[in-house]
Amino acid sequence: MGLSFGVTAGSLNSMVGDFLFDERVRSQRTELERLSVTAAPLLARADTEALADLLEGAAGEVSGRFLVLDETGKTHLDTEGELTGTLFQSEETDAIVRRGQSVYFGVHDGATGELVNTHSLIFTLRPSGAWYSYCAARLVDGDEVIGVLLLMSPVTDMMTGLFSLQRQMLLIFLLVALIAFVVSLLFSSILTRPIQDMTRAIQRMAKGNFSERVKVSGTGEIRRLAETFNTMSEKIETLDLTRNQFVANASHELKTPLAAMKVMIESLIYQPDMDKALRTEFLQDTNKEIDRLSAIVSDLLTLVRMDANSVQLTREPLTIAELVQENAHRLDSVMRKRDQTLELKLEDPCDLNADRGKLNQVIYNLMENASKYTQEGGEITVTLARVGRDAVLTVADNGPGIPKDSIPHIFDRFYRVDKARSRETGGTGLGLSIVKQLVLLHGGTIRVESEEGVGSSFIVELPFSPS
């Protein structure tokens, strides 16, 4: 802004200068040319008196001073007398005598006599003093240049006007530049401050501080950027927390069977004469713990693979009712042992495209939980129906139910309502989180309805045509 204003002001000033000067010169030029025609024969005849008469009269009219120089630059006549007989040199007379011009103009500093260029006036800044315009015309006799007629007239008023204009422009220029500077500084700091804040927050996040949030302020792009950044850092923080919990839980789950195994194996080593029946029991228990360990590891692997999105569904046409019946058959002996009754209400066979192995895992896990957590002699009901565009599978029991505050966590990894009891029954708390992931992979949903002392129902909804 400052630069463009400076350039505009400079050229405006020079244009005004040129205009004023041209205006001044135009009238003098005509006058000078007219006078030179009359003066030339007088000079040729060396009629100084007539020449003086002519020029003194004219000097009064144009309020200037006339000089007549011969071709060597010697002053033949000065209307003010002072310079007569001396050598006089100027750019204007040189232009006539040496360079063969007929008329030539210039502005001179009254103090030094120096010629100034009106185009460079913008930076000369000499407001005081006297200024003269020199206007020269040749005097000819036939084809020969015999001298120069020079008119010097004061232009101080014009120059003072120009200088004051120049000073005002410079002042405005400085003011505009200052305002532009301050405003742009203000603007850039307003614009860049949120970005700088964000950069610092990202740097702190890169060092592992995921609780970083930035202040959401302003409007438009920057605001959206800050909001997006905060959402992202929240997600990363939750992810980090979940991951840490997961690792801690997994290590704990793996350590428990290992500790039990170590106790039993040490007993076997340090008590060589142990009772044979007890030894067999210890070995059987160790074997059970190994089974448990490998079950946990395979569950963990399934979950990790699902997290990495590397689990692909291999869909095929199947009938859910058939899968339910298969699993009922598999769990038959377990339920019979616990004196539990299983009722199947298969209202619709529900044919759809799904991954057989994974859907089987879902149904087995839910039915196994229902049997595992329901007291002996309990009742389990599996319902299958078509509701709108979904196949709805409900596994209900009349077991102990799930406490209200546990319901939101029931699908979390390693979450168990009654830790001690679940361990007895061999659960790891991974079953339902795997079930949920598998249902989501199929584009479905799962939820639980439960009341303590009454029972629990797990409801799975699978779309017939997943999008």
Ligand X SMILES: Nc1ncnc2c1ncn2[C@@H]1O[C@H](COP(=O)(O)OP(=O)(O)OP(=O)(O)O)[C@@H](O)[C@H]1O
Nearest distance in Å: CB 379, ligand X: 12
Report the site for ligand X in 228-267 (rule: CB under 6 A): none
Which one of the spans 60-68, 153-161, 184-192, 363-371 is the region binding ligand X (CB under 6 A)?
A: 363-371
Provide the binding-site residues for Mg ion, judged by CB under 5 A: 369, 431
Alpha-carbon distances, residue 111 vs 108, 114, 132, 156, 374 (angstroms): 9, 8, 10, 12, 118
Inter-residue contact 399 to 375 (CB < 8 Å): yes
Inter-residue contact 113 to 8 (CB < 8 Å): no
Question: Is 436 a residue that touches ligand X (CB under 6 A)?
Answer: no
Question: Is 292 a residue that touches ligand X (CB under 6 A)?
Answer: no
Q: Which is nearer to Mg ion, 369 or 398 (CB)?
A: 369
Nearest distance in Å: CB 428, Mg ion: 8
417, interface contact from Mg ion, ligand X, none, CB < 5-8 Å by kind: ligand X
- Applying CB under 6 A, among 10, 17, 147, 427 the residue interacting with ligand X is 427
Question: Is 432 a residue that touches ligand X (CB under 6 A)?
Answer: yes
Which of 451, 449, 415 is closest to 431 using CA atoms? Answer: 415
Nearest distance in Å: CB 259, ligand X: 19
Q: Which residues contact 351 (CB under 8 A, 6 or more apart)?
A: 317, 318, 319, 320
Question: Is 418 a residue that touches ligand X (CB under 6 A)?
Answer: yes
Question: Is 378 a residue that touches ligand X (CB under 6 A)?
Answer: no
Which one of the spans 59-67, 255-263, 314-322, 393-401 is the region binding ligand X (CB under 6 A)?
A: 393-401
402, interface contact from ligand X, Mg ion, none, CB < 5-8 Å by kind: ligand X
Q: Which residues contact 139 (CB under 8 A, 6 or more apart)?
A: 36, 39, 40, 43, 68, 145, 146, 147, 148, 149
Q: Which residues contact 135 (CB under 8 A, 6 or more apart)?
A: 25, 28, 29, 32, 92, 103, 104, 105, 150, 151, 152, 153
Q: Which residues contact 331 (CB under 8 A, 6 or more apart)?
A: 342, 364, 367, 368, 371
Question: Is 300 a residue that touches ligand X (CB under 6 A)?
Answer: no
Which of 414, 377, 134, 94 is closest to 249 using CA atoms? Answer: 414
- Applying CB under 6 A, among 9, 402, 438, 460 the residue interacting with ligand X is 402
390, interface contact from Mg ion, ligand X, none, CB < 5-8 Å by kind: none
Question: What gap in Å lies between CA 132 and CA 155, rounded to an integer?
Answer: 5
Q: Which is nearer to ligand X, 88 or 415 (CB)?
A: 415
The site for ligand X (CB under 6 A) is made up of 365, 369-370, 373, 397, 399-400, 402, 410, 415-418, 422, 427-432, 456
